[in-house]
Structure 1
Amino acid sequence: MTIKLIGLVGNNAPFSYNRLLLRYMKERYQNINVRLTVQEITEIPLFSEKLLETVPAVVKQLAADIKQADGLIIATPEYDHAIPASLKSTLEWLSCYGNALTTKPVMIVGTSLGVQGTSRAQDNLRQILNSPGINAFVLPGYEFLLGLAKEKFDSEGQLTDQATLSFLDECFKHFQQFVLDNQRNLIAVRE
């Protein structure tokens, strides 16, 4: 059985180490019954309740794609100790349209130029994903925080540090199991 995942780039910057991280994960895990599709949020407009009457097509498509996926990986940078405004706006759209994240297994990953990785942004994101309007199932523990991104990726966009790769593999293995457990639980609830 192939697990279908969406990898959401958590910012709208032209260059992003978080985009590199998701692309790397897509390549690394493609041969283990995982199909990871990397999606951008660059075209998502700033959330506005006025726009709820005519939800933009790009928001509808993202919500539909997430609903069809078995799980979601969000790669967030850290801007001023929090997630970027573009990611927050995207999550506001998803909480008000389609309930795409309700009971959806989510893994949070992140990389930044600083030493601490994205620790505060990941805490911020967990809080948002656990809110009543979103109700996502966030993978507990196994927080993949990658600091000093410039030193960890080579010129081809490959992670080069073996300890980092081992930890990423461990986190991803737990996320796969988390997704499969969620699927079994949903089937049991329906029966």
Structure 2
Amino acid sequence: MQTRSETLTTILFNKPFGVLSQFTDKGTQGSTRPTLSAYIDLPGVYPAGRLDRDSEGLMILTSDGKLQARIADPKYKAPKTYLAQVEGTVTQDALDRLRAGVILRDGPTRPAKARAVNPPTLWDRDPPIRVRKSVPDSWLELTIAEGRNRQVRRMTAHVGFPTLRLIRMSIGDWSLGDLAPGQWRTV
């Protein structure tokens, strides 16, 4: 527990593909999956929310328990913006359905902000996404105010466009900016 004399720390981290959004791997014994501890050696900070192992981008880690709760708890509706590379050429109908909210197995989603965007200039992903010459891909910018398990992937698949690559660009007022994968900075 922190005392008033301790400084609260908040960092922004660009989580690379394949990294678990926790400091230890509680998976199978002998597992060697990379975790946050491979990138962040700062005591007392904890993730404010999660990002799937196969997703990339912004994570916020903080020593401030109240801030952590405000970011992670859906009742505070912190907007999270993602870039999603999807299979196929996104249609206006799919965008309209995402904007209205879709019904997933665990219930209806809140309406999302959704728009098609040009392919962004990003770092290469390792490993690269699978490419099928016969199937085009396109990019979406999607902003949601909830955080269910694999929600963006499930939403895009529900409207007929499976996600190939997913990058969280911002959470509330914090954005990824020019952080390279594996880098972090204090805010």
TM-score (norm 2): 0.27
Q: Select the structure that is richer in helix.
A: 1
Larger Rg: 2
**Larger strand share, 1 or 2:** 2
* RCO higher in structure (CA 8 A, sep ≥6): 2
TM-score (norm 1): 0.27
